[in-house]
Chains A and B, each alone.
Chain A
Amino acid sequence: MARKVTTRHKVVATVAAWAVALIIFFPILYTIITSFKSETEAIAGFKLIPSFTTESYREVQGQYNYFKPFMNSVILSVGSTLLALLIAVPAAWAMAFSPTKRTKDVLMWMLSTKMMPAVAVLFPMYIIFRDLGLLDSRIGLTVMLTMINLPIVVWMLYTYFREIPGEILEAARMDGASLWNEIVYVLTPMAVPGIASTMLLNIILAWNEAFWTIRLTTTEAAPLTAFISSFSSPQGLFWAKLSAASTLAIAPILIMGWFSQKQLVRGLTFGAVK
C-alpha cells in the first residue's frame, strides 16, 4: 500500500519537476534551436525543429574568430580564480580557525565593497588603467575580476573551512603527526572539495562578468562578452546569428557547469547549511 502511493507520488513529482525544468530551460533551448535555423526561418514563427543549417555559425565565425575571445575568457576566468584563491584561502582559513568577535563584521564589510555601481567609477577606472598601461591587457582585467569576486570567494571558503572540525587537527597532532603531514594528509583532503566548488562558482562569475570585460578591452584581451556585443543588434536580420553567437558564448561554461554540477552544488551553500 505504502509502496503504491510512493510510485504514484513519484510519477506526479516527476511530471511536475520535468514541466518546471523545461519551462526554465526553454529560453536556452530555443536559442540553441534558433541558431540552427536560417535568418528567414528564425522570424517565421514558432518552430521547434530547425532546418539544421550551420550557416549562422559559419557567418559568425567568418566575422569574428571565435577562438581568440574564447581563449581570453578561459584565461581571464581561470586566472582570476586562481589568483583570488591564492589570496582568499589563507584569509578564510584564519577566519575559520581563529575567529574573533569581528570576523562576521569583516565578512560583511568585504561584501559591502561590491556596493559601488561599476558604471559610476568607469571613468576614473579607465584613466587609472590607462596610466598603468593596463587597458586591453589580460593582466589588468585578471586583477580586476579577482578583486570583484574576492569577497564571494572568501565567504564561500570561510563557510566551508568552518565545517572542518578543529578536533581532527588536534587528534592528528596528538598522534605525533608533523605539521607537514598534518597539512598533506588531514587538511588538504578535507579542504579540497570546498576549494574546488569555490573555484567553479568563481569561474562562472568571472566568465559572465560583462561590464569591465567589455569596457576595458579592445582586441587583445577581449573575451566572449565582447564577442557577443558584436552581434547584438546590427542592421538587417540577425536573430539566427545572434542565437549562434549566444550559443557559442554560453556553451563552454554551460557544459562545464553540467559536468561539475555535483561539486558546484556542494559548494554553493555559503554556510547556509550548518
Chain B
Amino acid sequence: MATRQTQTLARFMMAPSVVLLFIWMIVPLAITLWLSFQQYNPLNPIRDGFVGFANYALFYSNPAFFFAILNTLIIVGAVLLITIVGGILLAILLDQPIFGQGIVRILVISPFFVMPPVAALVWKNMILHPGYGVTADLARFLGLQPVDWFAQYPLFSIIMIVAWQWLPFATLILLTSLQSLDGEQKEAAEMDGASALARFWYLTLPHMSRAITVVILIQTIFLLAVYAEILVTTNGGPGYASTNLPFLVYQKASLEFKIGQASAGGIIAVILANIVAFFAMRAVGKNLDK
C-alpha cells in the first residue's frame, strides 16, 4: 500500500518535468519534420508547397554536406580528446599540494564563465588575429612569420577555442572524482612498489571512468551544437573547411531563408546526434551503472 502510494506520488512529482519536456521536444520536432517536406522560402514564396524528400535530397547533394558531417564529428571528437586528456592531467596537477591552490583553481575554471560569442571574439581579435593578436606579436618577437590561424588552420582554431571553453568543465568533474579516491588505497599501492604510471593506469583511471563518461555524455550534447564560435570567426570557411552541421543549417535558415531545407538539416542533425549518442552509450555507457 505504502509503496503504491509512493509510486503514485513519484509519478505525480515527475509529471511536470516529463510532460513539459515532452511538449518541448515534440512540438518543435513535429513542426520541423512537417516543414522538412515543404518548400518554404519566405523571401521567394512562389514555389512553396509540398515537395516530398526534395529538401533532404538537396541538403544531401550540397557540396558542403559531406564536410559538415565530417567537421561536426571532428569537432566533437577532438574537443572531447583534448578536454579529457587535458582535464585528467590538470586534475592530477591541481590535486597536488600547491601554493595558492584556491587562486589557481579560480583561474583554471574561469573560461567556463565566458559566453561563447565573447570567447570567440576575444580569441579572434585578441589572441589569434594575424595582425594584432598576441600570437602574431609573439611570432614577430621570435622573428617568425605570424600565422593566419583562421585561414590556414580554420578547424584547428575552432577546436582550440571550444576546447578552451570546455576544459574547465572537464577538469572540475575529473578533479572532484580524483579527490574522492580513497587515500588508503593509494598508499597501499605505493607500498606495494607500484610505479606512478601503474598506479595511474590500474587505480586512478578506473576510478575516474564514471566521471569521464559523464564528461563525454554532457559535452557531446553541447559540442554537436557548436555554432556561435564558427559564425564569429571563420563563417564556415575558407571553402567549407570549418562548416559543421549546425552552421550549414544556420546558412540555410538565416542566410538563405530556405526553411524547408534547414528543417531537413535539423532532422538530419537529430539523427546524427542519436547515432553519436548510441555509440557513446555503447562505448562508455556501462560505466554509468556502476
Interface residues of A (CB under 8 A from B): 6, 9-10, 13-14, 16-18, 20-22, 24-28, 30-31, 34, 42-43, 45-46, 87-88, 90-91, 93-95, 97-98, 104, 106, 108, 110-125, 147, 150-152, 154, 204, 207-211, 224-225, 228-229, 232, 239, 242-243, 246, 249-250, 253-254, 257-258, 261, 264-266, 268-274
Kindly state the separation between the CA atoms of A9 and B288 in the bound complex, as whole angstroms: 35
Kindly state the separation between the CA atoms of A18 and B217 in the bound complex, as whole angstroms: 30
Number of chain B residues whose Cβ lies closer than 8 Å to a Cβ of chain A: 107
If A46-B134, A120-B263, A232-B117 touch, does A94 touch B176 (CB 8 Å cutoff)? Answer: no
Kindly state the separation between the CA atoms of A254 and B118 in the bound complex, as whole angstroms: 13
Given A261-B109, A271-B214: 4 more A-B contacts, CB < 8 Å: A17-B98, A20-B93, A24-B167, A210-B228
A-B contact pairs, 14 of them (CB 8 A): A25-B107, A25-B111, A28-B110, A45-B132, A115-B269, A116-B28, A117-B224, A119-B246, A119-B266, A120-B263, A120-B267, A123-B259, A250-B114, A261-B106
Q: Does B76 sit within 8 A of A, measured CB to CB?
A: no
Question: Quick one: CB contact mask for B18-59 with A, threshold 8 Å, 1 for yes?
Answer: 101100110011011001000000100000000000000000
If A90-B16, A273-B211 touch, does A250 touch B113 (CB 8 Å cutoff)? Answer: yes
B24 touches A147 (CB 8 A): yes
Kindly state the separation between the CA atoms of A18 and B93 in the bound complex, as whole angstroms: 10
Residue of A with least CB distance to B273 = A115
Interface residues of B (CB under 8 A from A): 3, 6-7, 9-11, 13-14, 16-18, 20-21, 24-25, 28-29, 31-32, 35, 42, 90, 93-94, 96-119, 121-123, 125-127, 131-132, 134, 137-138, 141, 164, 167-169, 172-177, 180, 210-211, 213-215, 217-218, 221-222, 224-225, 227-228, 232, 245-246, 249-250, 253-254, 257, 259, 262-263, 265-267, 269-270, 273-274, 277, 281, 288-290
B100 touches A14 (CB 8 A): yes
Kindly state the separation between the CA atoms of A208 and B265 in the bound complex, as whole angstroms: 25
User: Could you tell me the distance in whole angstroms from the C-beta of B33 to the nearest C-beta in chain A?
Assistant: 11
Chain B neighbourhood of A119, CB < 8 A: 227, 246, 249-250, 253-254, 262, 266
User: Could you tell me the distance in whole angstroms from the C-beta of A84 to the nearest C-beta in chain B?
Assistant: 9
User: Could you tell me the distance in whole angstroms from the C-beta of B169 to the nearest C-beta in chain A?
Assistant: 7
B127 touches A24 (CB 8 A): no
Q: Is the interface of B mostly helix, strand, loop or mixed?
A: helix
Number of A-B contacts (CB under 8 A): 281
Kindly state the separation between the CA atoms of A243 and B121 in the bound complex, as whole angstroms: 9
B225 touches A21 (CB 8 A): no
Chain A neighbourhood of B9, CB < 8 A: 94, 98
Residue of A with least CB distance to B217 = A111
A21 touches B107 (CB 8 A): yes
Residue of A with least CB distance to B131 = A43
User: Could you tell me the distance in whole angstroms from the C-beta of B213 to the nearest C-beta in chain A?
Assistant: 8
If A117-B225, A246-B121 touch, does A269 touch B11 (CB 8 Å cutoff)? Answer: no
Chain A neighbourhood of B250, CB < 8 A: 119
Residue of B with least CB distance to A12 = B96
Kindly state the separation between the CA atoms of A13 and B250 in the bound complex, as whole angstroms: 45
Kindly state the separation between the CA atoms of A93 and B289 in the bound complex, as whole angstroms: 19
Contact pick for B270, options A13, A22, A116, CB 8 Å: A116
Chain A neighbourhood of B32, CB < 8 A: 116, 120-121, 124
B266 touches A121 (CB 8 A): yes
If A98-B6, A152-B218, A258-B106 touch, does A108 touch B281 (CB 8 Å cutoff)? Answer: yes
Kindly state the separation between the CA atoms of A88 and B37 in the bound complex, as whole angstroms: 35
